[in-house]
Amino acid sequence: MNQAQTTTAPGPKTATEPGPAPSAEPLLSVTGLTVRFRMRAGRQVAAVTDVSFGLAPGECLALVGESGCGKSVLASALLGLLPGNARTDGSALLHARGGQPRLDLLTADEPTLARTVRGRRVGLVPQSPAGHLTPVRTVRAQLTETVRELRGLRGPELAAATVAAAERAAFPADHLDRYPHELSGGLAQRAATALALVGDAPVLLADEPTTGLDRALVDRTVDELRGHTADGRGLLIITHDLAAAERIADRVAVMYAGRLVELAPAARFFGTPGPRHPYARGLLEALPERAFTPIPGMPPELDALPAGCAFAPRCPRADERCATRPEPDDGLACHHPLVPAGTASEETHA
Amino acid sequence: MSAAGNTPGACDPPALRLSGITAGYERRSPVLRDVSLTVRKGEAVGLLGPSGCGKSTLARVAALLHRPWAGTVHLAGQPARGWRYRAPRAQRTFAGVVFQQPRTAADPRLTLHALIAEPLRATGRAVEATDRVGRLADAVGLGPELLTRRPHEVSDGQLQRACVARALVLDPGLLVCDEMTAMLDASTTAALVTVVEDYRARTGAALLAVGHDRTLLERWCDRTVEAAGLGAPDERSRTPRARETTPAGTPASGT
């Protein structure tokens, strides 16, 4: 409500700490991740460009940005689910943990991804649970199949584990024999979360898990997701819902036109001194509880990005320096940051 | 239409008057029961409620897209005389509607230009398309190149911009926005609300905005009403969740 107030962020996170430092052995390190799509007539779409971040155990990182900025492509890249015309560069290292070897998600072959990664080392909480669940089978049938495949259980053990798996995602046991269309949006989301949790994957990837849910359900869903980081999982939540990100994230990564423009601790980002990148500031100021003014213009097309800073055409602070692209430095890629950080923003190279 | 006075006051008939609406989809389990709501000329009313409470059904009734089992709908003082395609043209086009999901509300075969011009074509005014679509596309921020694309070639935000332009193309006296921004990011939300408000300031159109985002609707509208307070949904409704999550006060949203 009051921007002069210091942040009293709701939710289960501890606001005192700026989030776990990525110095502790991270679960996932993404370095220079780049995704290009080859299209007809030699067109090339730069969906993701030079994205780097780490995800530590117990950490929640929120990736925010306007629709069409490349967020979901990033998620698909981490699961090896990109279409055939995609070309990737950089690396996304899933670190060795629990007897599993270190693995680069971008170069791993399909059998490895299918048998050892999806569901087992990276769990996906999908955008639309209604589309993710099979409509012609009950939740119990789908959960049982997942438990059998991922944990190798049979018989009564399997039945018990299925009920336990539903319980972990707070899915009510008396709804297990329902079909997906008989579930409310919130329960369908829990069913999908239950499936994502079965394999005990250390990394949870939630791609717009709250689209179309009302505020009370959004809060409950993200709180539940956040709760699953308590035992050392890392949660990467991709969302355009800034309120949800503020509620649960330790760190916030802002994506614009395929690049990370700012990566900051959530407390600083949503509180004082606030975002440093003009785009991030504009996105926050567009919220109805703040200025409610849109950023002028629209994001550039990803197949025709300007040579310099992609945000410059919409930026109130842009000048001739913005014709050269700012290199990311100290979690920020901008020539004219709003809050001058400890480091001078003069140097263009990190 | 007839010469309209600019004072949104008691002398003008309300843009929308719903009285005693009972509506639903399955026999014996109405989603809405005896609901009444009035939106004065030029007024912006926000209808708040959790998902499953029947607020979208009410919006569909107001736009003459869903025939209620009981009750009457008055648009600009005239009682509704038909529903869906049977409604008289003047009534059918009085309300412009924007739905939540632009993907399911847009014909995938049409370019954005054709999409925005569709209501003109359907009412025999296709000759006006070039001029009006151009102006509206400017207003919602769609460039000439984007207008040549089809829905699968644009983002959700861009498609919703086209859907807002489509809703405005016949100069409606009432706008019904059903969760218009639920799929959109903060900046696109603010941009589309600005487009709607600019149109309303110019024409004096009324607005019924349906949603669950209290902060947004309180900022956007002249007043907000709770869907739950208009007429309780049936106890045996097939959406029990709507009841159990209805917060007593304000849901603790982000800030």
Question: How does residue A14 score in pLDDT terms, banded at 50, 70 and 90?
Answer: very low
Distance in angstroms (rounded) separating the CA atoms of residues A178 and A190: 13
- In the prediction, which pLDDT does A182 show? 85
* Whole-Å CA distances, B217 to A150, A266, A292, B51, B225: 45, 26, 12, 15, 10
The C-alpha torsion from A333 through A39 and A62 to B185, rounded to 10°, is 90
- Residue A108 domain flag: yes
- Examine the pLDDT at B52 and tell me if it is beyond 90: no
Q: Which residue has the tokens 């009006």?
A: B132
- Residue A205 domain flag: no
**Tell me, what CATH number does A350's domain have?**
3.40.50.300
> Residue B15 in contact with residue B1, Cβ under 8 Å?
no
- Residue A164 domain flag: no
- Residue A161 domain flag: no
Q: Does A243 touch chain B (CB under 8 A)?
A: yes
Structure tokens at A270: 């949503």
User: Which residues are registered as beta bridge partners of A64?
Assistant: A239, A254
Residues of chain A with Cβ-Cβ distance to B51 below 8 Å are 184-185, 212-214, 217
> Residue B115 in contact with residue B152, Cβ under 8 Å?
no
> Residue B204 in contact with residue B39, Cβ under 8 Å?
no
Cα A137–A233–A185 angle (5° rounding)? 35
Q: What pTM, to 2 d.p., does this model score?
A: 0.81
- Examine the pLDDT at B127 and tell me if it is beyond 60: yes
- Examine the pLDDT at A66 and tell me if it is beyond 90: no
- In the prediction, which pLDDT does A138 show? 96
Alpha-carbon torsion A305, A306, A308, A314, what sign? negative
Q: Do the chains contact at A297 and B156, CB–CB below 8 Å?
A: no
Cα A266–A271–A276 angle (5° rounding)? 75
Please state, rounded to an integer, the average pLDDT across all residues of chain B. 85
- Examine the pLDDT at B211 and tell me if it is beyond 70: yes
- Examine the pLDDT at B75 and tell me if it is beyond 90: yes
Pairing of strands B206-211, B174-178: parallel
Range of the domain at A269: 10-15+24-118+238-350
Which residue has better confidence, B254 or B62? B62
What is the mean predicted confidence (pLDDT) over A20-29? 71
What is the mean predicted confidence (pLDDT) over A168-194? 88
- Examine the pLDDT at B86 and tell me if it is beyond 60: yes
Chain B interface, mutation test: which of A184, A187, A215, most B Cβ atoms within 10 Å?
A: A215
pLDDT digits (tens, 9 = 90+) for A315-339: 999 999 999 999 988 899 999 999 7
Structure tokens at A22: 């990525």
Count: domains in chain A: 1
Complex prediction ipTM: 0.78
The share of chain A scoring above pLDDT 90, in percent, equals 63
Residues of chain A with Cβ-Cβ distance to B218 below 8 Å are 288
- Residue A178 domain flag: no
Q: Do the chains contact at B182 and A212, CB–CB below 8 Å?
A: yes
* CATH top class, domain B14-106+170-226: alpha beta
What is the mean predicted confidence (pLDDT) over A88-96? 94
Domain ranges for chain B, please list them.
14-106+170-226
Of A263, A237, A239, residue with least CA distance to A67: A239
